[in-house]
Structures are given as structure tokens and as C-alpha cells.
Structure 1
Amino acid sequence: MQLETYISDLLYRYECVNVPEFGAFLTQKISATIDETTHTFYPPKKMVSFNEQIQKNDGLLANYIADVEHISFEAANEKIAKRVQVIKSFLIQGETVNFKNIGDFVFNKEGKIVFEPTYKVNYLTDAFGLTQMVSPNVTREIHKETVENIEKVIPLTITSEKRKSRPYFKYAAVALVALTLGGLVASNYYVNAIETHNQLAQEEATKQLDAKIQQATFNLNTLPTITLNVKKQTGNYHIVAGAFRVEENCDTKIEQLKALGFKARKIGVNKYGLHQAVYASYEDRNDAINALRTIKAEHNKEAWLLVKELD
């Protein structure tokens, strides 16, 4: 049985772990420290010590072993006693007994147990993850001497007499105020530029939204299908075939659509300066939607419905 493993587990949670007929392991919390010689910072920790005088069985170690190994309390005590006998026999023979992550034991000339703790493990859970750190030496005195040498050549102390004899301090103060005001002006200019940019972006977003709304179509799946046979060329529902920057191209498109049997026509220029050509115009919305369905299925998937009252 590795007795030291169970002791190590308990040292994280308790300040005293007794080993019957052997001694007690005690922990003491120590604050973070600094070694000024090596410039090393040590985190807070639990310092482990050993007291041979405390050998009473408080049941803590035996209960823990019984729980981990699923044995009775009496069986755990027997295991502890056997392990203690082995450890003491090694010590009597002059050997050093190592408890992993805890420390080393040895008998001195008086037959007393001497304990040397290890410093590799920190049993303070609050300091988990913290390690020692070495900082480079801060040479404050050297910098201070450098500044003092500079002051001998260029005095930096400003008194009332020196202000009178050195008017350039006044100009320096004025310059400082000017720089501050300049910074405020620049800041206001920057804010105004951002606001202008945001306004332009808002206008562009509105323009794009208008275009999307203009191209809005209705739900084509909720209305009955009828045969495309429309004679009227009046109305506010227009099936758009395209929009052209050059009017001649718009006229050409209309002639092509008429050749295919559509009642095509121009409906004027939109807000973006484009000439719009339509397959046909309708007075009834249902007629327009069903005509659009047929056109999208058989002729042009990009066709869309424009709802607009013409002058």
C-alpha cells in the first residue's frame, strides 16, 4: 500500500493528517513571498511539517483508505500499522524513506525522526496554477543618477522667478492650450465626418430597400390558375420585362416581345433613369399574378410584378 499517496490526497483538504504510531503531518498557510536576492516571486502555499509526538489515531486516514479501497475501517487500520512497521524498520537500518510529493524521513543520532519537506508540490488549492516567477532587476537608482546628471546641465525646476525671467514658459502654456483646442476641433470634425458617412449609408440602404419593395411579388401559390388571354392595356399592375439605360434598347425589347405575341409597351422612366418595358398591364391583380406565373414558367424567370399608377 502506498500510504504516502493517501496522505498527499488528504493534505489538500486538511491541516492535520495523523498516522497512528508514527506521527502527524501538519500544514501551515504561508503568504506570497519575494526573494530580493534572486528577484523571485513565490505564490502563497501550504508548508508541510511533521510532528512525531502526535500519534493518536483520529480515524481520518483510516476512513479515507477504507472508502477508496472499499474495505472495512478495521482492515484499513491494519494496513496502516503494517506499513508503519516497514517504514520504521527502514529508518532503524539507517535508510532514508521518501514519501513522494511530501518529503524525506531519516533517524538522527538521538533516534528521533527528522523530516525534510519537499517544495515541489503546493497543497494550497487557492493557489492552483500559480508558479514562481523571476523578475529582472529594476535599476531605479541608475535612472535616478542619470536624471540628476541631466538636471545639472539643464535645470528643470520651475520657480516663480524663473517664470518671469523665462517667458518661453508662457508661450509653452499657450501652445499647450492651442494644441488642446486643436484636438477638440479635430475630434468634432471626425465626429461630423462619421455622421455624414452614416447619413450617406442610410440613404443608400433606403435606396436599396425601395428597389426591393419595387420588385416585390405576391404569393403565387394561393391563387387559381387561369389561361393568359388579356386584351386590356390599361391598369396599375405591370409585368416588367426589363429596364434599360438606353431608350432604343427598350424599344427593341418591346418589338421582340410583340413578335412573341405579348401586348408589350413602355411605361416610362423609373426613379433611377431607366426605361421600363413590360409584357403587359392589367387592371385586375389576380389576372396580373396568373399572367406573371405563366411568363416566369415559360419565358422569363426574372420577370416581376410592378404595382404603379401611371400618369
Structure 2
Amino acid sequence: MMIEKHISALLYRYQCVTVPGFGAFLTEIQSAQLNNDTHTFYPPKKLISFNANLKNNDGLLANHIALQEKISYDQAVANISREIESWFDKLQSHQTVVLKNLGEMTYNVEGSLVFVPNTPINYFTDAFGLSTIISPAVRREELKAEVEALEEKAPIIFTPERRKNYSYLKYAAVFALMTSIGGAGFKMYRDNKIDQETLLVEQSVQEKVNNKIQQATFFIENPLPAVKLSLKEDKSTYPYHVVAGAFRSKANAAKAMKELIAKGFKARQLEKNQFGLYPVLYGSFATYADAHQNMKKIHKTEDKEAWLLVKEL
């Protein structure tokens, strides 16, 4: 069974897909890029990386395989284990494990697992339909030189017929200019007069309004104390979540959540997901940056296998 096709399917929706006993494939969104040398525009995409330290089974991959292959969850876990054993056999014999649409896995001279991504497809669904565009460079200086060369080759020559006396046109232009200036001056004078009259009326009305306000002013001797309202921030709607684990037993999930709360985390327990598991969260965050920063702190101080879930609740 080739489980890489199931990993690829999950990478469209999730930022972390863990292969139990082997490692986890992670994604990071890269914005659109421009190569100035080749004049090529690249659409935004997901960059694939690999972390060999995340090996615990979170149930995501096994549940997906069970649903797609129409087998039991335990059978899916067993199939994953057999596939991982074949990968390790190839790696131990210094062969390269090629994972279609993901990349290649090898051992380096130090015996560490090295992943080289090779993703011909774009896992970023928001960029669906966008392709690489090559735009020719705009040759401004070359075009300018060509225009100047054409001007030198084709100078403008005035024929005798074009040098007739058109002096009467100058007088007509002067007359039209004086007429337009006189009309503009009269309009400016009239508009200025209207503005002055409008300002006087507005000042008179404003004075009357101020007098009415002064007459209606009153004071309260014993005012009621101000009421302070505190709005509680609702973190249940945040889309970015740091996951501690997913449990098949609801009781075990509740126990894990209580332990995290006792350690000072704002832990939460989600409802059963489509895979029949109860996810337990270290916390939820409004932005990806906050969630990623907190996940890195948890990796250093608490749990290296915590992962990030992006989901609107």
C-alpha cells in the first residue's frame, strides 16, 4: 500500500500529517514570488518539510486510510507499520525512498534522515488554478533610442503653403481670452458675495443656538456611579489551535485536559471529530503567528510532539 497518496490528500487541509513511528510532514505557506532575472511570477504555495521527532500516532492518517480503503482502524495502523518497515529497509541498504508528490528520503553520512522536497503540485488550495507566468522585460531605454533615431531620419519640413499669414487668428484668440477672463471674474465676485452672506446667517444661527444651550444647562447633584462593563474574550472562535493529542476515550481526553489546566495552560477539549477522536488543545489563538510562537515554546518546555491545527470552530 502506497500511503504517500493519503499523505498528499491530507496536506491540502492540514499543516501537519504524522506518519506513526517515522515522522511528520509539515507545511508552511509561501507568498507569491518574482524572479527578476528570469522575469517569472510564481503563485503562492505550501512548502513541505519533514520532522523526524514527531512520531506519535495522532490518528489522523490512520483514520483517513480506514475511510478511504474501507478497512478498520486497526488494519490501517498495521498497513502503515508494514509500509514504514519497507521504507526503513531501503534506507538501511543506502537506497533512496521516493515518495510521489512529496520528495525523497535518504540517510546522510552521519546516519541522519534527510528529506529533499519535490512537489510538482501546489497544496495551497487558495492558489488553485494559478500557474507560473513569464513576462517579457520592458525595454524602455531601447525603445527610446529607436524613437530618437526615427526623429533624426524624418525631420519636420514646413512647405511654403503652410507659412501663410494667419495673424487675424491671434486677435480672435485674444478676444476669446478676455471674454473668458471677464466671465470668470464676475463669477468669482458673485460666489464670494454669496459665501459672505451665508457666513453671516450661519453665525447668527449659531449665536441663537448657544444662547438656548446656556439657558437649558443643568447639573445633577448626586450622579449615579459609572458602570464598568468587561467584555470577556471568546477564544472558542479562534481558528488556530495547538493540539496536545487526540483520544478515542472521552474520559481520557477530559483527564488530559485537567492535567494541562493544572499546569497553567488554557486547555480545551473539542467534540468528537469525524475520525471518532476527542482532540485536547493547549490553547486557541487568533493569529497564526501567536499559535506558532506558543507551539515553539511548548516544544521546548512541555511536549515536542504538539502540533498546529487550523480549523474554524
If the TM-score is normalised by the length of the shorter chain, which range does it land in? 0.3 to 0.5
**Largest Rg, 1 or 2:** 1
Structure 2 length-normalised TM: 0.47
Structure 1 length-normalised TM: 0.47
Q: Which of 1 and 2 has higher RCO (CA within 8 Å, sep 6+)?
A: 2
